[in-house]
Structure 1
């Protein structure tokens, strides 16, 4: 369902950007006849019946990338099947959150392409993206002035779901996470663990194909955190949703189908139970 193949990412160099802009202005003023060459990179073949959803295809060789250039992610290759769970563990600054940002279209690869269901991720409309990919955040990212029910329902309404249907779906998922008695409470009036469960209900309520979880238990104690992780994994399996989680905690890798360690911008497979 999801494949990264030789992916590289480097944050833009501000000095280079300034130089490029100056050169562009000079070329414009002098009416230069030079034209930029379109670089058409080839997509890897994708079969319509293939289970793989997201795929990256890099072009430059690893030798070029490692010759003094500072890349956050270097030559990352991994694959996740539909409905599979994957956990990425690593220290701060290792590149694991950047990987998640690339998969979530918050960043664009410096080299290579990201494919989701055979389509270039950058070509997705906001509607398509919201319909297929959901997030679970460490800080919950809930609307503090809204109730528990409204926090789950609002994204559905934004997507065009009717009021009645959005309410029904939201109540169903809040019941699944054990919050049916808190529907009309302000999110400020519930605990951190309960707020995280609201975030989980919101992510699953939209019936996505892929859920990206960025340190979803970072603000919770170990016992509550493990309950949250097991809840996510259970819902993912039941609904055949691919679930990718980034964490500092190495203790949960045996709960996932695959686990990777991110170190110095590279991914290392540490366990696979398929």
Structure 2
């Protein structure tokens, strides 16, 4: 493996390459994030099991970038799911057969305002809904804890995600020229960041396009997806040009991705939903007052 930096690891005198730093040597979460601070392009790519637990100064950096670009306050990141097709698996086929009637992994992507992926979860099959994957993600719990500690920050998701004080969704069928419509327009413009991120990811690594079915077992497919996300961040950091997708590829991809639908709220979620509506109403009025 190519060395990232020249010195050997001070702890065990082995070459200090990326794999050694993140897998063989790092012993705890604090050390892991110290490593990520030295290699920002690798910032939490590889699944939700490690969870985002960056210092608060990093969180402030992320949501200030969104505000400067789009005028939407408090946005830490944007979240979205995308399907990557694979051949029929030999085990647990029902977990991978999605609503578009092909086998896939439903990949959760979370990105910053510069289209860098700092969290990817490729562990779920295509039968899993975006909202279900988000509920299992440790980042969900982390952002909830930040909210409970008084931090006014949130992620943006489409209407397939459950509304929460820390996860804001668009207002469906808002009245024309109303504060709610203005909020939804700003929300969609900001949240489109993650859709553009996924588009760039798949334009660079076209094996991830739905009609380019991956002929590997589902475990290998997950590793391929994670590797492509790491290389996507490397390409962004190097400011490499993004190849254009043909209209045929673009249409095929759009037609084979699932519609997001609407989340189902259980009785135990009523208070969280109410709190989310209150938070959303506050943001609606703030954006309406600050409109130009």
Name the TM-score, length of structure 1 as normaliser. 0.26
In terms of fraction of residues, the more helix-rich structure is: 2
Q: Relative contact order (C-alpha < 8 Å, sep 6+): which is higher? A: 1
Greater Cα radius of gyration, structure 1 or 2: 1
In terms of fraction of residues, the more strand-rich structure is: 1
